[in-house]
Amino acid sequence: MSKLVAFAGIQGGYKVVSTAEGEFQKALETFDASSKIEFPNTGYYLPVIYSLTGMKVETLEDMKEPLEFARGLLPPHIKGKHHLPYLGPLLDAGMAAIFAYEIIEALRILREPDFYLPQEDPDIEAGKIWVGPADDVILRKRGVEFVDGSAPGFAAIVGSCPDPETAKMIVEDYQKKNLYIFCAANHNGTSVIEQLIEAGVQIGWNTRIVPFGPDISSAVFALGFANRAAMTFGGVQPGDYKKILRYNKDRVFAFVNAFGDIGTEWGVAAAGCVNWGFPTLADTDIPEILPTGICTYEHVVANVAHDEICQRSVEVRGLKVTVSEINIPCSFGPAFEGERVRGADLLCQMGGGKTQATELVKMAEMNEIEDGKVELIGPDVTDIEAGGTLPLGIFMQVAGREMQPDFEPILERQCHHLINYIQGVMHIGQRDIAWVRVSKGAMEKGFTLKDLGVVLHAKFHQDFGAILDKVQVTLYTNQEDVDKLTKKARAEYKFRDERVEKMTDEDVETFYSCTLCQSFAPNHVCSVSPERTGLCGAYNWMDCKASYEINPTGPNQPIEKGECIDPKLGQWKGVNEFVQKASRGAVTHYNFYSMVIDPMTTCGCCECIAAMLPSCNGVMTVSRDYTGETPCGMKFTTLAGVMGGGASSPGFVGHSKFNITQGKFIIGDGGLLRMVWMPKMLKEEIKERIDKRGKEMGCPDLYDMIADESVGITEEEILPFLQEKGHPALTMEPLVG
C-alpha cells in the first residue's frame, strides 16, 4: 500500500486524538469531574469504547482512561525511506481516532444536550435534522430487520454529492436494495442529508435514511450501532474485541461512501472502519488500498462514478442482495415501508375513518380464478380531485395444491408490508380498519390502484410460491361493493379468531421452532406453541406452521413434544432434545410456563421482558417502547442487555405482548394473577384481553389492580396500592421458596 496513505492517516490519528484531549481538558474546566457522561437511553455507555475495551465511561473523569488508551495506540510517524508493512500501524491510528471521535461526540452531548433530537424522525420544520446516536429502543426495533434479512447491511455516507439530484439517485438506489443509509459529515458547507431534504426525500429511521450528525465524528454512531448489535443479539461480551470485530465483518455488511475532498480526518476515520471489515469507496482521486486482507476484498477504492457507486460498493463488500423487479412505475422495497404521506403531498386516501377500507384473502379452487388477473371495479385515484377520498376493498383470491385455509390470515397480513413497500404509498392497519394514503409524487410517476394488485400478485408468488399457484386480485372503490366485501370479511375474521383463540397446547402434538434470531443470538432457540407466541410478537403457531409448509428447511421447524416431563411448568422430552441440538449443546432444557424455574431463553428482539418482584410476591413486565424506570430497578434496555443474548435467566423471561393474556402465560408460577405492574401504555393496549383473561381466572377486576408508573416505579411505592386493591398475588403461595 502507499506510504502516502499511511502517512496521511497516521497524521490524522494524532490530530483527532489531540483534539479530543483538548476538548476533554476544556470540559474539566467547565464541568465537575463527576458530571454524567452517556449517550441518551442506552445501557452501553460509550458503545465503541465499551464493546472493544470493556471500559465503562460514566463520568467526565472516566474519559481519561480511554483517551490514554487511544494515545497509546498511535504508531510512530512515517519517516523511513524503506518499505514497511504500513497497514498495521494505519489500522491502529484509525482505531485511536474512532475512540477519540466517540469521546468528542460524548462531550458535545454534555455541552449541548439538545444538539441532537433523540427520536426516529427529525423535525425538519424546527431545524432539528440530526438524530444522533440510536437509543436502545431503536436498536432492538431495527435489529430485527438485520436478523431476518430484510436489511442486508448499511451504507455509511460522509460528505455531499455534486447536487441534490445525484444524492437522491444514489440513496434511492440503496433503498431499492433494502440497505440502511447512515449519514454524517458535510462537504463545502452542505451534506447529503441537506441535499436529500432539498430534493424532497423523507429522512429518518422509518425510511432507513439516518441523519446521524453534521461532522465526521458523528460517523462513529454507525460503528456504535454495529457493535451494540454484536453485544445485544450475538451475546458477545464487552472487551472481547476480536469477536466484536469478526462478528461485524462476517454478519454486519457495511461499507463507507466518501463524497468530496478527503482530508486527514476523513482518511483516518476510513482507516478505522477497515478494522471492522468495512471498506471505503470514494468519488475522488485518492490513493487506493486494493490488496485483500482485513476487508473481504479491497479496502479503499477511488474514482468511482456516482451512477456506479451503489453496485460497486455492494460488490466490494461481498454483499449478496436479492432484488426482484416489480412492474410498477414507483420504486419498491422495504426501505419505503416507514415513509409517511403527509398532508401537503396527499393526493387521496382510503379508509382511516374517512371511508371504509377492507382486505380479505380467500382460498379458491384452481379453476375458479385466473392467475395475474388484476381488476379495478370503480373509480381510480386519477378520477378524483386532490385531497379526495375513496372507499376501498382489496379481495385477494389464491389457489394452490398446497394451499390451506389456515394460511389465509398469514397471507392477508402481508398486505401491510407489501403495499407500504411502494414509494409514495402509505398503509396502516389491517383487516377492515386499513388506511391507504397515496402521494402526489406517486401519481406523477404514473401510479394507479391496479398497481396494488400487481404488487400483491408478484410478491405472493415470490414469497409463497411453495403453496400458491394462482393469485387474482380485485379492487373495489364503489361503496356498495366495498360494503358487501366488508360484511363477508367480518364473518371470516370472526371464524378465524374463534378458531385460533380456542387452540391450546394440549390440542397439538407438534410445536415449532424459530431460530431466525440465531444469526445474532447463537444459543437462542424460540419454541412456539398455540399458547405461547414467539418472543418478538411476529410469529404465532399458525404462522410457523405456514412458514414450514412454505420453506421446509427454514427457521421454523416442527418439534415433536414427546413425553411430558412436567405438565405444570411445561417441559417435554422432545422439546428438550430439539433445543439441545439447535443450541449446539449450550441449552439442555427449559420450561414454557415458568419464569422462575429454568425459563425459555431470550433474544434481543423480544417485545416485553417480565421480572420477579419478590416484595410484592408478583411479577412485572415492561415493553420495549417504554423507556422509563421499572420496579425491578432496571429499564427495558438494561434488562435486555443482562439476559437478551440467548440465555435462560431464572426470574426473568422475554415474551410477546399477546402472550401476556394467553392461557399458559407463566401459569406454572400462578399465571396472569401474578402480574402486579406494567407500563400504562401497555396496560391500556391490551385492556380488553386483560379483562377477559382476568374474568376467566376468577378476578374480573384484575385490570384495575395492576399498578403502573403513575402509581410508582419501585416495589415500595406500589405495594400499598396492591394492598389497598386486594391484589390476588399478595395471598398466593410465595413466588420463591
Query: pLDDT tens-digit profile of 222-231?
Result: 999 999 988 8
Tell me: pLDDT of 453 over 90. Answer: yes
Element (H, E) at 184: strand 180-184
On whether the CB atoms of residues 612 and 619 are closer than 8 A, the answer is: yes
* Vertex 593 angle, CA 588 and 599, to 5°: 40
Same topology for domains 3-111 and 334-476, yes or no?
A: no
What is the architecture, at CATH level 2, of domain 334-476? 2-Layer Sandwich (3.30)
Question: In the CATH hierarchy, which top-level class contains the domain 136-317?
Answer: alpha beta
Tell me: pLDDT of 450 over 50. Answer: yes
Percent of the chain with pLDDT over 90: 61
CA trace torsion 624, 627, 629, 634 (10° rounding): 50
Least confident of 151-165, 400-414, 463-477, 479-493: 400-414
**What mean pLDDT, rounded, does the chain reach?**
89
Mean pLDDT value of segment 518-547: 80
Task: Return the pLDDT at 546.
Answer: 80
Task: Return the pLDDT at 321.
Answer: 63
pLDDT tens-digit readout, 631-683: 999 998 888 877 766 778 899 999 989 899 999 999 999 999 999 999 999 99
pLDDT tens-digit readout, 362-379: 999 988 999 889 999 999
DSSP secondary structure letter of residue 608: E
pLDDT tens-digit readout, 72-92: 999 987 665 544 456 788 889
3-111 topology per CATH: Helicase, Ruva Protein; domain 3 (1.10.8)
Least confident of 155-169, 244-258, 530-544, 709-723: 530-544
Please choose, from the candidates 180, 170, 182, the residue with its C-alpha nearest in 3D space to the C-alpha of residue 146.
Answer: 180
505-731 topology per CATH: 3.40.1470
> Given pLDDT bands bounded at 50, 70 and 90, which one contains residue 573?
very high
- What pairing do the DSSP bridges indicate for beta strands 526-528 and 470-476? unpaired
CA dihedral sign of residues 643, 49, 191, 316? negative
Cell matching residue 90 = 494505519
Cell matching residue 333 = 422495497
The Cα–Cα gap between 119 and 115 comes to 12
On whether the CB atoms of residues 49 and 66 are closer than 8 A, the answer is: yes
The domain locations on the chain are 3-111, 136-317, 334-476, 505-731
